[in-house]
């Protein structure tokens, strides 16, 4: 596996919504390359016939009534922790388009 480039890191960072400085781009390109190099040893494992494990509790389809659980805090308390302005019960954000 060849090295991850600075441009590829830039692409991934954009998708992950992370602003990175030029120094960070260089640093992470090297570091991610060595992490993926290590992960590459998995390609030698034969997983034919191995059952996937997605959970360990054995629980299936745990349902609850479709009701708002408001015992633990109120809508106003939740809105009070935003760093942004609140208008008519909604958080005001930058324009989307």
Partner 1 sequence: MDLNQLTIWEAHEGLKAKKFSSEDLTNACIKRARERNPEVNAFVEITEDFALEQARLVDKDGAAGPLSGIPIGIKDLFSVKGYETTAGSKILKGYKPPFDATAVAKLREAGAVFLGRTNMDEFACGSSTEHSCYGNTKNPCDLERVPGGSSGGSAAAVADMMCIGAIGTDTGGSIRQPVSLCGSTGLKPTYGRVSRFGVIAMASSWDTVGPFGKDVKDLALMLQVMAGNDKRDSTTPERPVPDYMAALDKNVKGLKIGIPKEYFGEGVEDETRDMVMNAVRSLEKQGAILQEVSLPMTKYALAVYYVSMPAELSANLARYDGIRFGIKPSEDGSDLEEYYRNVRGEGFGDEIKRRIMIGTLTCGVTALFHMLVSEWD
User: Which parts of this chain interact with partner 1 (CB under 8 A)?
Assistant: 1-2, 4, 8-9, 11-20, 24, 27-28, 31-32, 35-36, 38-42, 45, 54-59, 62, 64, 69, 72-74, 77-78, 80-84, 91, 93-97
Q: How far is the CB of 49 from partner 1 (least distance, A)?
A: 14
Q: How far is the CB of 53 from partner 1 (least distance, A)?
A: 9
Q: How far is the CB of 12 from partner 1 (least distance, A)?
A: 5
| CA gap 16, 12 in Å, rounded | 6
**Element spanning 91, H or E:** strand 90-91
Contacts of 6 (CB under 8 A, 6+ apart): 25, 26, 29
**Element spanning 31, H or E:** helix 22-39
């Amino acid at each position: 596996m060849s090295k991850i480039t600075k441009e590829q890191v830039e692409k991934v960072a954009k998708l992950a919504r992370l602003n990175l400085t030029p120094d960070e781009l260089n640093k992470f390109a090297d570091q991610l390359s060595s992490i993926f190099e290590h992960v590459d040893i998995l390609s030698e494992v034969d997983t034919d016939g191995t059952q996937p494990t997605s959970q360990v509790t054995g629980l299936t389809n745990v349902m609850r009534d479709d009701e708002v659980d408001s015992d633990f805090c109120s809508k106003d308390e939740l809105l009070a922790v935003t760093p942004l302005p609140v208008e008519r019960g909604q958080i005001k954000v930058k324009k989307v388009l």
